Structure 1
Amino acid sequence: MYTGLLIILLPLIIGWLLPFRHPRLLHVVNRALSYMVYVILFFMGISLAFLDNLSSNLVRVFHTALICAVCILLCNLLALWLWEKRQPWQHNHRQEQLPSRLKMALDSLQLCAVVVLGFLLGLTQWPFLHHATAAGEYALMCLLLLVGIQLRGSGMTLRQIVINRRGMTIAAVVTLSALVGGMIAALVLGLPLKTGLALGSGMGWYSISGILMTEGFGPVLGSAAFFNDLIRELVAIILIPPLIQRHRTLALGISGATSMDFTLPVLQRAGGSEIVPAAIVHGFITSLLAPILIALFSG
């Protein structure tokens, strides 16, 4: 467990400590991070193709992903709704015209296409493809280094995080309810509770959760984690606009780790600029917690 946690934390900490603040350099880091995600998911698809009893395992992947997505999302929505009743979020923002949700959904599905492409290549069973798992591990460490640089480059300080209590509390509610949802899913699926906790720790960050779960539990559960968190992001894109006027806490919470990047434009246009600090803090905390929690529960 501690070796896996060190592999996760060390690149993150090194990336965080690197003093990269220049906008052009951060732009290069963000682009490299996007490309690295595609590379690692491609390797994940190759590893999936080398499974024994492939057809039955694919059924297991999608069954596990669907059960996890339903359990985790329902727990998140219930917990966020109860919290919002206790701590209402007052605002006077009028919703702006939103970017195309179909285009955003298609952008997310591009990552599915990369996994499928890797899977199809893996079906050739060429000998050199057996090294895909090891290559994925090295690529993962590079990815986490870039994530650390990106988090530091976001400009968030500990003071800003502590001051924005709403973003912190929503992140706490989302994290705890997701873990509960993961445990419920584990009971339904007959999996160990630690496996359910790891599946619930992705926070919608499908690229990192799929990769880390593959490292810790193999390609079946890794692929299930990927599709579970991808479903969360697609649901968030659909639900944010109708929810945000009356249930801002729910709209922000279901975004998970993506509230700092992918769904931030939707949150900003639908909820106004006042939601941005809470969204960034929420996304920052859940992005930081996701790999750490997955590593802890993968031990």
Structure 2
Amino acid sequence: MFSGMIFIFAPLVVGYLISISQEKLLSAINKTTSYLIYVILSLMGLSLAALDNLGQNLQLILTYAATFFLCISLCNLACLPFIDRLMPIITDVKNSKVPLSSMAFESAKLIFVVGGGLIAGLLLPISLEWVDTASEWILFLLLFFIGIQLRNSGLTLRQILLNKHGMVIALVIVVSSMVGGVLSAVVLDIDLFKALAMASGFGWYSLAGILMGDAFGPVYGGASFMIELLRELVALVLIPMLIRTKPCTSIGYAGATAMDFTLPVIQTTGGVRCVPIAIVSGFILSLLVPVMMLFFVSLAG
């Protein structure tokens, strides 16, 4: 299993070693990555269609997703307010309206992609034996592009180390999420390392679902996808409500999405002082998702 981890992790490392200065090329890579995510999520739906006892497995996915989401969220929200108390941030309060409905639709659209793959797999008279192999190869390519994106995100090591709020927020999210993973393992009576891998998604729903699905099958992949997607949808609601009084809590709960998807909400409702904190914490968590998830996957026999 450890050799398999290295084989999957290698494209990410190779991609991270590539520095690109051409904006057009970076833009093309970003678009390609988005398209690949849609493709691989549709393949996830097809793999769900190939499951025996589909109804029972869907119920299992919902049970896993609900349990992990509640345990991880409660642990995150129990710990993050201490950062606001010990390291307070003065926010630039904004009253601008944020198009939360359109952003929520962008998240929900991914559910339709998975659902479309599931329906296609159930209705079309085609063999689905090729799906797992295709998913693995697309995953390798996706990790390669993600490595390039992380390397060319514009953040230097010095910028990360100097932003103490971002680093502390990321650390608290990692530790509290691991506690949530342990609680989930106890409640669901599943392998501890599988649970810790599930808890290492930190809001990156597409990559988390893909990695877990490739490692443990569509049940774990589907559940992991739903856990992190729920985090993002809840973050879109919590950020405008809490960021004025608890900015670190709001930024932290957004997880890895704080550096991209939820960043406009953070900036609009919390002001420019929250932006570098959100970018640093989101970057660290994004970098840790594949590292930690693949590490725990390698330990789960």
Q: TM-score range by the shorter chain?
A: over 0.9
Q: Give the Å deviation of 1:48.
A: 0.8
- 1:23-56 CA-to-partner distances (Å, cap 9, x unmatched) read 2211111111111100110111101111111111
* SS of corresponding position for 1:246: coil
Does the 8 Å CA contact 1:267/1:275 hold for their aligned counterparts? yes
Q: Give the Å deviation of 1:92.
A: 4.4
Q: Give the Å deviation of 1:62.
A: 0.8
Q: Give the Å deviation of 1:124.
A: 3.8
Counterpart amino acid of residue 224 in structure 1:
A
Does the 8 Å CA contact 1:47/1:219 hold for their aligned counterparts? yes
Provide the residue aligned with 1:19 in structure 2.
19
| Separation in 2, partners of 1:160, 1:180 | 29
Counterpart amino acid of residue 81 in structure 1:
P
* SS of corresponding position for 1:262: coil
Does the 8 Å CA contact 2:47/2:131 hold for their aligned counterparts? yes
Distance 1:8 1:273, change over 3 A: farther
Does the 8 Å CA contact 1:5/1:292 hold for their aligned counterparts? no
Counterpart amino acid of residue 100 in structure 2:
R
What are structure 1's unaligned runs of at least 5 residues? none
Does the 8 Å CA contact 2:16/2:147 hold for their aligned counterparts? yes
Q: Give the Å deviation of 1:216.
A: 1.2
After superposition, residues 125-140 of structure 1 pair within 5 angstroms as 126-140=125-139
Does the 8 Å CA contact 1:47/1:119 hold for their aligned counterparts? yes
Q: More deviation in 76-85 or 193-202?
A: 76-85
Q: Output the aligned Cα RMSD.
A: 1.3
Provide the residue aligned with 1:247 in structure 2.
246
Counterpart amino acid of residue 238 in structure 2:
L
Do residues 77 (structure 1) and 39 (structure 2) align?
A: no
- 1:100-142 CA-to-partner distances (Å, cap 9, x unmatched) read 1111111001110010111111114644421011100110111
Provide the residue aligned with 1:170 in structure 2.
169
What are structure 2's unaligned runs of at least 5 residues? none
Does the 8 Å CA contact 2:83/2:249 hold for their aligned counterparts? no
After superposition, residues 105-116 of structure 1 pair within 5 angstroms as 105-116=104-115
Does the 8 Å CA contact 2:91/2:271 hold for their aligned counterparts? no
Does the 8 Å CA contact 1:18/1:149 hold for their aligned counterparts? yes
* SS of corresponding position for 2:211: helix
| Separation in 2, partners of 1:128, 1:163 | 53
Identity of aligned residues (%): 45
Do residues 5 (structure 1) and 29 (structure 2) align?
A: no
Do residues 87 (structure 1) and 87 (structure 2) align?
A: yes
Provide the residue aligned with 1:51 in structure 2.
51
Does the 8 Å CA contact 2:266/2:275 hold for their aligned counterparts? yes
Does the 8 Å CA contact 1:174/1:253 hold for their aligned counterparts? yes
| Separation in 1, partners of 2:57, 2:182 | 21
| Separation in 2, partners of 1:92, 1:154 | 25
Does the 8 Å CA contact 1:164/1:278 hold for their aligned counterparts? yes
| Separation in 1, partners of 2:240, 2:23 | 31
| Separation in 2, partners of 1:274, 1:88 | 12
Does the 8 Å CA contact 2:9/2:294 hold for their aligned counterparts? no
Runs of 4+ in 1 over 6 A off after TM superposition: none
* SS of corresponding position for 1:273: coil
| Separation in 2, partners of 1:156, 1:128 | 45
- 1:223-267 CA-to-partner distances (Å, cap 9, x unmatched) read 000001100000000000010000001000011010111001111
Distance 1:75 1:22, change over 3 A: same
Provide the residue aligned with 2:181 in structure 1.
182
Give the TM-score taking structure 2 as reference length. Answer: 0.96
Provide the residue aligned with 2:193 in structure 1.
194
| Separation in 2, partners of 1:85, 1:224 | 34
| Separation in 2, partners of 1:138, 1:123 | 23
Provide the residue aligned with 1:264 in structure 2.
263
Q: Give the Å deviation of 1:215.
A: 1.1
Distance 1:114 1:272, change over 3 A: same
Counterpart amino acid of residue 290 in structure 2:
P
- 1:260-295 CA-to-partner distances (Å, cap 9, x unmatched) read 110011111111111111111111110111111111
Counterpart amino acid of residue 49 in structure 2:
A
Provide the residue aligned with 2:225 in structure 1.
226
Does the 8 Å CA contact 1:98/1:266 hold for their aligned counterparts? no
Provide the residue aligned with 1:117 in structure 2.
116
Does the 8 Å CA contact 1:198/1:298 hold for their aligned counterparts? yes
Distance 1:8 1:285, change over 3 A: farther
Counterpart amino acid of residue 216 in structure 2:
F
